[in-house]
Structure 1
Amino acid sequence: MRAALYLASLFALASSNSDYEDHEAPPRAITQNGTVQGFRLPDFKEDVFLGIPFAAPPVGDLRLRRPQPYLNTWEGVKNATVRSPSCPGYAGFDVGLALGEDCLTLDVVRPSGTTAGHRLPVLVWIYGGGFDAGGSADSRYNTSYLVNASVAIDKPIIVISINYRVGGWGFLASEEVVAAGELNIGLFDQRLALKWIQENVWAFGGDPKKVTISGESAGGFSVGYHLTAFDGKHDGLFRAAILESGNALGPGINSIAQLNTTYQPTFDNVTETVGCSEAADPLDCLRTVPYETLFDAFSPFVMTPVLDGEFLTQLPSTSFSLGKVAPVAILAGSNTDEGTASFFGPRNSLNTSRDISAMVSGMGIGLSNSTVSKIMELYPDDPTQGCPFNTGSERFADQGYMYKRGAAIVGDEVIHAGRRFTTKYYASLPNHVRNPVYSYRFDQPPWNGIEEYVATVAPVFATHYSEEKICFVFNIDPSASTANSNWIGPHSEYYDLSNLMSRSWISFVHDLNPNHHGVWGTPIWPEYSNSPSNFVFRVGKSEIEVDNWRSAQLEFWSTIWGQLKT
């Protein structure tokens, strides 16, 4: 359904193919693999290219292997007007997407009339979904409106959305996978897409030296991992990074030595379920299993990146401590009430201090008694200090008597602490390697108090994903999104906030400065190394704050990164 809505919103703006083909030739670009032909959106004055392969199809013997470059060339013109399937995914975010294994493609949207000589800045979108779901076809990520906004403020950009494998298809891990050298497939998908963009984006009118990678949630974690990948050697694949509610210092990452107690049982379960457990090479056997059978076998399990010794050579916190991090420009932020997201925890499970202590002691590799005591002290049983913040003495006790206490701990540990550490690190670099750094806090609840697939039962407030919901960053017009599950709402002031956010992001991609957005009456967003401050986004009352929000709590997490496996 979402894919249909996305395409409907595109084609509603355009004349039919027959209409424009009679008057103007469809757009083309000559890539290293051959010529691709997309379609034009006349009302938006945009060119759209869909389903362009950046890797060999990961099917047959290439299933469950790191991506291989797309080496084929084609004669004539390749149709780029139809999306490929989205990579097999789960968790609800796959609803409405056409799924399939032959999914390693990307989509390009550019202003019409753009040629190779224009060298426009490029924004690359990496979707989230817990490393378990997502796709460029998700209608919430309709990049056409973002490109349209860039032209409106005379800062035209090209936006590219990439697909990558998720779930067991992209992050299967076990002794067998280690031996085969096939860990972190999904991250390598992303890396290969970035290499393809470097080699081909000029053909679409983009500047390979002005690429910004961006993502939210697992997409934000992915961006963080690209900052630390290969010991910070980013090979000029990007000059800037946008991290929304995710960073390299988020969820714990298991090492190869820890797989026996983490993912090995999952691998064994899958191979047993599909009849490969007795095979001489169980991993190779999985490549022969019918797609539907393997899809179902993977479905109960969530798998995420591991320390593979290559893409991630060490914990991200170690990379930061050694200075092995890509020296690029940064725009990073988080949402005030991240911890209210249902999948982060701790609904209907925390009623006593003992419950809180047990939750905390189980974090990472298992925290010491003294560490647990310190966290309990920093997060007292005081609902006025709990998440959702600024909600006073209300406990939301139907979710657990100490729910707010637990939500504050989880949101700070998984998202907020890493955001602050990342921005402080980049702002502290020496002048000769430091690039611009900007930080934000999104503080606006959904208009109706519901965030689909994230938090649908109170409390919600400015929860995870709320800055990313359909219009705020992607600037999708309400008229095109009223049927979408994450509609921004009927109020014009919400769309005003979307205009500000989308244009700030565009300004950063274009100029490495988010202040050139053209929205009158907006506070100046300080560069973090000059003033460690956040831009606080709210409907009707955005402002600048000194970044000392929850300073004691967030600082403490940065002292125990190793124990948290991050």
Structure 2
Amino acid sequence: MPTSKYFAAIAAVGCFLGVAVAGGPSVEPSKSTCQEGSPVAKTKNGTVCGTRLPTFSQDAFLGVPFAEPPIGDLRLRHPKSFNAAYTAYDATSQPPSCPGYAGFDVGIGPLNEDCLYLNVIVPDCNDAPGKKLPVLVWIYGGGFDAGGIADPRFNMSYIVQESAAMGQPILGVSINYRVGGWGFLASKEVLEDGSANIGLFDQRLALRWLSENIEAFGGDPDQITIWGESAGAFSVGYHLIGFDGQHDNLFRAAIMESGTMLGPAIQDAKTLALDGGYQAMYDNVTKVVGCDTAKDTLECLRTVPYASLFAAFEPQVYTPILDGTFLTRSPSESLAMGKVAEVAVLLGANTDEGTASFWGPRGTLQANDDVAAFIQSLNGGGLTQSEVDQLLLLYPDIPSLGCPYGTGNDRFADQGWMYKRGASIAGDIFIHAGRRGTAKYFAQSQGQKNNPVYSYRFDQSPWNGTEELIATVPPVYSTHFTELIFVFHNPSQDLSNYIGPYSSYHQLSKLMCRSWISFVGNLDPNHHHISGVPFWPVYNLESPINIVYRTTDNNGGTFLEKDIYRGVQLDWWNEHWLTLRS
């Protein structure tokens, strides 16, 4: 159960929309009424009992089930709709997080296979009774290997609070989905069983549940925006191309921070079996837990004790694959064929993405041959020697051109003599090229009036020069993940990723948070009611513009730029996605 300190930390100011307050005595969820005074929502499954967040003037519904518990025979299967009826479901405490790894699971509470729940944060809205509010749905990152809606950094109360304060209230929703081997196990056995990309199907089922039930909380099912960062942003990108772009009106807009559908390689039925493919990882797991001699190894994995399977999955890192159902072809092919959902888009990247420890080749690139080998290894190999040579020319050994950008001739040689060269390559292939390619696709393929596209570049370093779990050893600068705490507008000083003590940082956070809220409600980020800020124009091919976010203490603050940085380099990646299996 959350403590009173937790609720004090997650409260916000708002607009609650016509959700009834239950009367009667305090009862257990198995009885017929909610606790007296608690907010309630009447979903298709029954009455959900929430909790009041008085500090924020909000109601919270925490741990609402959207799928059957994926345990027993439902382990390692696509989620099954939650069809049980309830009379008074207790949604007053954070749900467990799905089993995860890699350090990103720190601080997100207990892990449990029974984890397919979502949270809904609802602001007060007494001045507009009955009005349905736009909905912002958060899909967490964590490399498809960890994450959870209980993570206090991703507390939706603050962004919902800010929406009410600016007179544009929204509902905030966050959804759990399975990660690691639990959510993305892949092999020929998994494909034959029709059980690939479990985590993506978890997300999709949560969106379907919201489409059917969000009105019960005061939300508008026709005004849902899906939002993610890193693996969450890649997830959003996959929803845009998923099912050949048929999104069944489950969302009208998408926000992608530091990730799209382009960049990382995606394995398919053929590449699963190659050296380094997921088949070998699957075979190793079955051997470790004693299922390798079973007639049906996947069915055997469903019977293995949780602790044993958790340990067997721990060394493995899986990501989505081409399963023939959710993802039917490579993302670049989907874009080329126009098999993409037609929605409004806001997307962007951080200037120095490549300094993240897991992207950049720290301590390994000393000479030109090292850089060549690094390039050849990208996305599992596949580039020809000629293509490697082209990239060596496009990313020369000139420190002033490397990442972190704008740091002159400093090589950061303790990380490798050619570290900046490799960090630039890594940031471009995994994030920057995909951001530009995706922005251009939506700008040229959709009607700007109904489905506008907005692009940003985040150019602010963390206040203390480190980014927990991302880049704790210099150089850091505006690395991966640094923008996210600004958008959530979470001021908590005890978080590992604190905004900082400076007022300029908090002003930048307010601007970004309000711009995202404005996009959710208006499909236009400019209704933020903050003066002295450049108007953020729609991205178009004739004049592609990014808004660049900086504090007023950093070279004059936020400004606009023409989106032409590293033009030849980013064009090269966008012309070679098929070779790179993206």
Q: TM-score range by the shorter chain?
A: over 0.9
User: SS at 1:109's partner residue?
Assistant: strand
Quick one: which amino acid aligns to residue 285 of structure 1? C
Identity among equivalent positions (%) equals 58
Structure 2: stretches of 5+ with no match in the other structure: 15-25, 27-34
Which residue of 446, 453, 461 corresponds with 1:445? 461
Q: Does residue 86 of the first structure (1) align with residue 97 of the second (2)?
A: yes
Quick one: which amino acid aligns to residue 474 of structure 1? F
Give me the whole-angstrom Cα distance separating, in 1, the residues matched to 2:3 and 2:370.
42
Kindly indicate whether the alpha-carbon contact (under 8 Å) linking 1:515 and 1:524 is maintained by their aligned counterparts in 2. Answer: yes
User: SS at 1:545's partner residue?
Assistant: strand
User: SS at 2:487's partner residue?
Assistant: coil
Kindly indicate whether the alpha-carbon contact (under 8 Å) linking 1:427 and 1:434 is maintained by their aligned counterparts in 2. Answer: no
Which residue of 149, 164, 168 corresponds with 2:181? 168
Aligned pairs (5 A) from 1:401-440: 401-431=417-447, 435-440=451-456
Quick one: which amino acid aligns to residue 90 of structure 1? Y
> Which residue of structure 1 aligns with residue 10 of structure 2?
10
Q: Which moved more, 1:108-117 or 1:246-255?
A: 108-117
Q: Does residue 513 of the first structure (1) align with residue 524 of the second (2)?
A: yes
Deviation readout 1:240-295 (Å, 9 max, x if unpaired): 00000010002110111111120111111111111111111111111111111111
> Which residue of structure 1 aligns with residue 489 of structure 2?
475
> Which residue of structure 1 aligns with residue 160 of structure 2?
147
> Which residue of structure 1 aligns with residue 218 of structure 2?
205
| 1:531, distance to aligned residue in structure 2 (A) | 3.5
Kindly indicate whether the alpha-carbon contact (under 8 Å) linking 2:342 and 2:446 is maintained by their aligned counterparts in 1. Answer: no
Q: 1:433 to 1:229 in 2, by over 3 A?
A: farther
Q: Which moved more, 1:112-121 or 1:459-468?
A: 112-121
Quick one: which amino acid aligns to residue 41 of structure 1? L
| 1:550, distance to aligned residue in structure 2 (A) | 1.2
Q: 1:13 to 1:110 in 2, by over 3 A?
A: closer
Aligned pairs (5 A) from 1:328-339: 328-339=343-354
Give me the whole-angstrom Cα distance separating, in 1, the residues matched to 2:538 and 2:220.
24
> Which residue of structure 2 aligns with residue 359 of structure 1?
374
Quick one: which amino acid aligns to residue 396 of structure 1? F
Which residue of 324, 335, 355 corresponds with 1:320? 335
Q: 1:4 to 1:217 in 2, by over 3 A?
A: farther
Kindly indicate whether the alpha-carbon contact (under 8 Å) linking 2:11 and 2:55 is maintained by their aligned counterparts in 1. Answer: no
Deviation readout 1:440-485 (Å, 9 max, x if unpaired): 00000001110000000000000000001x3x011112xxx11111
Give me the whole-angstrom Cα distance separating, in 2, the residues matched to 1:433 and 1:104.
37
Quick one: which amino acid aligns to residue 505 of structure 1? W
Q: Does residue 340 of the first structure (1) align with residue 351 of the second (2)?
A: no
Kindly indicate whether the alpha-carbon contact (under 8 Å) linking 2:346 and 2:455 is maintained by their aligned counterparts in 1. Answer: yes
Give me the whole-angstrom Cα distance separating, in 2, the residues matched to 1:4 and 1:109.
17
Aligned pairs (5 A) from 1:38-437: 38-74=50-86, 76-96=87-107, 97-113=109-125, 117-261=130-274, 262-364=277-379, 365-431=381-447, 435-437=451-453
User: SS at 1:377's partner residue?
Assistant: helix
Kindly indicate whether the alpha-carbon contact (under 8 Å) linking 2:13 and 2:160 is maintained by their aligned counterparts in 1. Answer: no
| 1:42, distance to aligned residue in structure 2 (A) | 1.6
Structure 1: stretches of 5+ with no match in the other structure: 15-20
User: SS at 2:222's partner residue?
Assistant: strand
Quick one: which amino acid aligns to residue 60 of structure 1? G
| 1:12, distance to aligned residue in structure 2 (A) | 11
| 1:2, distance to aligned residue in structure 2 (A) | 11
| 1:90, distance to aligned residue in structure 2 (A) | 0.4
Quick one: which amino acid aligns to residue 118 of structure 2? L
User: SS at 2:439's partner residue?
Assistant: helix
Taking only aligned residues, the RMSD between alpha carbons, in angstroms, comes to 2.3
| 1:357, distance to aligned residue in structure 2 (A) | 0.7
> Which residue of structure 2 aligns with residue 503 of structure 1?
514
Deviation readout 1:488-529 (Å, 9 max, x if unpaired): 111111001000000000000000000000111111001112
Give me the whole-angstrom Cα distance separating, in 1, the residues matched to 2:205 and 2:447.
31
Kindly indicate whether the alpha-carbon contact (under 8 Å) linking 2:11 and 2:57 is maintained by their aligned counterparts in 1. Answer: no
Kindly indicate whether the alpha-carbon contact (under 8 Å) linking 2:190 and 2:298 is maintained by their aligned counterparts in 1. Answer: yes
Q: Does residue 37 of the first structure (1) align with residue 52 of the second (2)?
A: no
Quick one: which amino acid aligns to residue 236 of structure 2? V
Give me the whole-angstrom Cα distance separating, in 2, the residues matched to 1:559 and 1:205.
45
> Which residue of structure 2 aligns with residue 562 of structure 1?
578
| 1:362, distance to aligned residue in structure 2 (A) | 2.2
Deviation readout 1:371-429 (Å, 9 max, x if unpaired): 11111111000000000000000000000000000000010010000000111111112
| Deviating 4+ runs (over 2 angstroms) | 1-8, 10-14, 112-117, 362-365, 430-434
| 1:77, distance to aligned residue in structure 2 (A) | 1.1
Output the TM-score relative to the length of structure 1.
0.95
Give me the whole-angstrom Cα distance separating, in 2, the residues matched to 1:399 and 1:52.
46
Residues paired across the two proteins, number: 557
